[in-house]
Amino acid sequence: MNILGLDISTSITGATVLDKDENILYCEAWDTRNKKHFPTLLHKADFLKAKLLEVKRKFDISNIYIEESLQSFRSGFSSAKTLSILSKINGIVSYLAFDIFSTSPVHLSAISARKACDIKVLRGQKAKMVVLENMLDKHDRFVISYTRSGNPSPGSFDRADSLVIAIAGLKSWKEKN
């Protein structure tokens, strides 16, 4: 029994596989930012499908948890166009996951997933950084690299978010079983 947690994005998708004991078996960032390689949403979908098939070949996935896409505007965040694209790609990947793994993905909000992992984001803190630091502190097998200027490398936040989704999904599954 393994859990797949996905943090779907328009640019980098985080994917984590956990076993029933919360051991990290896989934690990667799938980068679709290069517009030459991924000129359209369908090109990104093809790439993500290939990555999901790769996960299926390597792991026996019984449950899939996906972070819900943003549903509303917040000042200084994503535009209407970005939210629309994010909803589309979230729907596409949700369907691909269902089709490939023959199980319906469960969508979790970022807030409820963080709560399930006992992560508290105080007013004024950046949620992504709090999540990343929390995952680095709690999971020895979660390791990231840094840029020359000392910032987390691209994909680090996405991997951390997918790990939180996977852990929250695992906890939810354990409560029900």
Question: What's the pLDDT score for residue 72?
Answer: 46
Rounded to the nearest 10 degrees, how much is the dihedral formed by the CA atoms of 115, 120, 125, 130? -80
Question: What's the pLDDT score for residue 77?
Answer: 52
* Strand-strand pairing, 24-31 and 2-7: unpaired
- In percent, the amount of the chain with pLDDT more than 90 equals 87
Question: What's the pLDDT score for residue 75?
Answer: 47
120-160 confidence digits (pLDDT tens): 999 999 999 999 999 999 999 999 999 999 999 999 999 99
Domains, the chain, ordered by start = 2-176 (3.30.420.10)
75-99 confidence digits (pLDDT tens): 445 577 777 888 899 999 999 999 9
